Amino acid sequence: MARDQIDMTPLHSRDELVAWLEAGSKPKDDFRIGTEHEKTPFTLVGHQPVPYAGPRGIEALLQGMKHLLGWDPIMEHENIIGLFDVTGGGAISLEPGGQFELSGAPVETVHQTAAEVMAHLAQVREVATPLGIGFLGLGMTPSWSREQIPVMPKGRYKIMTNYMPKVGSYGLDMMYRTCTVQTNLDFSSEADMVIKLRTSVALQPVATALFANSPFTEGKPNGLLSFRSEIWRDTDNARSGMIPWAFEDGMGFERWVDYALDVPMYFIKRGDRYIDVSGSSFRDFFDGRNAKFPNERPTLSDWANHLSTIFPEVRLKRYLEMRGADGAPWERLPALSAFWVGLLYDEESLAAAWEIARHWTAAERQALRDDVPRLGFKAKIGNRYLFEIAKECLVLAHAGLRRRGRIDHLGRDESRYLEPLDRIIESGRTPAEDMLQKFNAAWGGSVEPAYDQYAF
């Protein structure tokens, strides 16, 4: 979510942390879908990064969106860093390099997700085009070096920028050069959370392959299909990855709390100030042993903020976040939500999807996850190609959405949003392989045409 939490209730026991997660459980009838997507702003003339300040910068874009939408500004000191829709619950926020993120409102159907995305893109274009700003729907900036990219004025990013190089070689690339689309889904109980978490972690490489479209770095092929996914393999392994312990007996809300307590913190927020406590654990803070806050108890707000700095392939908050996909052009954004809703919100499809992955070992799941950024559909698990598994998952997603039976005004169910993924499976190629083909043929060895063909 775009806004750091502001519940300053002090915490006294581990049980409160568990209860806070457990409170996310809701009846099936109240299940919602949240779609978040990031896109890279670029100058329409010259395809350069967009600075924060200035008459044609990100700040001007956010001010324009504020006037157009009437949303509340999110401020940090004197800088506008996002917008919040008090009525619907959606938000616009900035990633470290100016990537523009829509955190969609929690909606009931994929039809509503698609409508929200379309409305958002129309609104953004209305403000951005006169400023000479366009947006790119790819998993990674195809032509810029890290040094070229502006830094957004957010305190938490300053702390992360200093910390990242200490814990992995790609953390700054993750922050400044990548974009994702993610789907957030609900659970009805602890048992429901566990089966959805396990199924979606195991099958996250399917989404990575279906959405892989980051094959270029600084204007040249980088040898991968999803460099964004590769970046996550060496960003900060203490807080990311395939969480093998989630497949062990005894998995539940308590186990997640114990994991999160030991993940190193980045910051503690007090008022408008971000205090750098990077590297220290939440467990020590909880025990009153944080060097900068001796004998002070964390608040619920600190806990919620900390959970938002953990980055496994699927993240548990008070809902589950699917985190494996590259950012994408607009028609594929609702497709990700359709894919996971079809698999996880229909009991029959969920059981069948778990059946696909149930017998995989932790080592096999890890090897698949390690291979997919490079090999895409050609990655294997056991004796099966990921392509076959993706095909099977898509069949299950179609069936799940058909059984859900949420119909739009033209009588169509949500499975229509899977069509872009159906076309990818029919072609047998990831989006990245299509791009590489264009690069080597029609694009004449230049990535510049991507700024037209993959722009919103």
Average pLDDT, stretch 270-279?
Answer: 93
Domain presence at residue 131: yes
Q: Is the pLDDT of residue 94 over 80?
A: yes
Residue 6 in any domain: the answer is no
pLDDT (tens digit per residue) in 206-223: 999 999 999 999 999 999
Q: What is the number of alpha carbons within 13 Å of residue 91 lying toward its C-beta?
A: 17
State residue 57's pLDDT score: 98
435 pLDDT exceeds 60? yes
H, E, C per residue of the chain = CCCCCCCCCECCCHHHHHHHHHCCCCCHHHCCEEEEEEEEEEECCCCCECCCCCCCCHHHHHHHHHHHHCCEEEEECCEEEEEECCCCCCEEEECCCCCEEEECCCECCHHHHHHHHHHHHHHHHHHHHHHCEEEECCCECCCCCHHHCCCCCCHHHHHHHHHHHHHCCCHHHHHHHECEEEEEECCCCHHHHHHHHHHHHHHHHHHHHHHCCECEECCEECCCCEHHHHHHHHCCCCCEECCHHHHCCCCCHHHHHHHHHHCECCEEEECCEEEECCCCEHHHHHCCCCCCCCCCCCEHHHHHHHHCCCEECEEECCCEEEEEEECCCHHHHHHHHHHHHHHHCCHHHHHHHHHHHCCCCHHHHHHHHHHHHHHHHHCEECCEEHHHHHHHHHHHHHHHHHHHCCCCCCCCCHHHHHHHHHHHHHHCCCHHHHHHHHHHCCCCCCCCCHHHHCEC
| Angle ∠(202,208,210) on CA atoms, nearest 5 | 115
Q: Rounded mean pLDDT of 141-166?
A: 96
Q: Is the pLDDT of residue 2 over 50?
A: no
CA atoms lying within 13 Å on the CB side of residue 308: 15
Q: If you average pLDDT over every residue of the chain, what do you get?
A: 96
Task: Report how far residue 129's alpha carbon sits from residue 50's, in angstroms, rounded to the nearest whole number.
Answer: 13
Nearest to 96 by CA among 167, 34, 171: 171
Cβ atoms of 342 and 414 within 8 Å: the answer is yes
* Range(s) of the domain holding residue 35: 14-453
Q: How far apart are CA 181 and CA 38, in angstroms?
A: 6
Question: Is residue 250 in some structural domain?
Answer: yes
Residue 41 identity (one-letter amino acid)? P
Dist. CA 172–CA 170, nearest whole Å: 6
Q: Is the separation of the CB atoms in 311 and 335 below 8 Å?
A: no
Please report how many Cα atoms fall inside a 13 Å half-sphere around the Cα of residue 242, on the Cβ side.
Answer: 21
What's the pLDDT score for residue 423?
98
Task: Average the pLDDT over 245-256 and give the result.
Answer: 98
Number of domains comprising the chain: 1
Do the beta carbons of residue 375 and residue 223 sit within 8 Å? Answer: no
Region 341-369: what's the mean pLDDT?
98
Residues paired with 311 in a beta bridge: 240
pLDDT reported for residue 217: 98
For residue 168, is pLDDT > 80? Answer: yes
Q: Which CATH number goes with the domain that contains 299?
A: 3.30.590.20
State what percent of residues in the chain have pLDDT above 70.
99
What percentage of residues in the chain have a pLDDT greater than 90? 96
Angle subtended at Cα 128 by Cα 123 and Cα 131, rounded to the nearest 5 degrees: 150
Nearest to 7 by CA among 298, 342, 348: 298
SS3 track for 331-352: HHHHHHHHHHHHHHCCHHHHHH
Specify the pLDDT at position 258. Answer: 98
Whether 6 shows a pLDDT value over 70: the answer reads no
d(CA 125, CA 118): 11
Phi, psi of 18 (to 5 degrees): -65, -45
Residue 143's CB: how many other CB atoms inside 10 A? 20
Paired sense of beta strands 267-270 and 380-381, if any? unpaired
Task: Give me the mean pLDDT over the 62-85 stretch.
Answer: 96
- Residue 50, sorted as left (phi over 0), alpha (psi -120 to 50) or beta, turns out to be beta
Report yes or no on 393 lying in a domain: yes
Quick check: is 8 in a domain? no
With respect to residue 441, please indicate whether it lies within any of the assigned structural domains: yes
Strands 91-94, 380-381: pairing is: unpaired
Tens of pLDDT along 403-428? 999 999 999 999 999 999 999 999 99
Phi, psi (rounded to 5 degrees) for 49: -60, 155
Residue 1 above 80 pLDDT? Answer: no
Report angle CA 86, 41, 89 to the nearest 5 degrees. Answer: 15
Tokens linked to 220: 């040249």
Residue 388 has pLDDT above 70, yes or no: yes
As given in the structure block, the two tokens for residue 97 are 């390099």
Closest C-alpha among 241, 266, 225 to residue 386: 225
**Confidence (pLDDT) at 7:** 80
Checking if the pLDDT of 5 tops 60, the result is no
Q: Is 319 part of any domain?
A: yes
- Residue 4 domain flag: no
Closest to 4 in 3D by CA, of 238, 257, 306: 306
What pLDDT score was predicted for residue 271? 87
Q: Retrieve residue 15's tokens.
A: 């049980």
